[in-house]
Amino acid sequence: MALTLKLLIIICAILPLIVSIYQLHSYKYFGEHPSEKTKKNIEFSKKLNWLTIIICCSTLILMLIK
C-alpha cells in the first residue's frame, strides 16, 4: 500500500514538472514584439512555472529519500 502511494505521489509530481518545462520552452514563440500586457502575463506565468518546478522537484527528492 505504501509503495503504491509513493508511486502515485511521484507520478503526480512528474507530470506538472514536464508541463512546466514545456511551457517555459514555448514562451519564445510569442514573437519578437509582444504587447506590454502579454509581456506581464508571460513573466507571471514564468514565475508560476518556476515555482511549480521547485515544488515538484522537492517532492520528488523527498519521496526518493524516504
59 lies in a domain? yes
Q: What is the pLDDT of residues 14-52, one digit of tens each?
A: 888 899 888 888 877 666 777 888 888 888 998 999 999
**Domain span holding position 52:** 1-18+39-66
Question: What is the pTM assigned to this prediction?
Answer: 0.76
Per-residue DSSP letters for 1-27? -HHHHHHHHHHHHHHHHHHHHHHHHHG
2 lies in a domain? yes
Residue 30 burial (CB count, 10 A): 13
Number of structural domains the chain divides into: 1
Confidence check: pLDDT of 7 > 90: no
Residue 31: per-residue pLDDT? 66
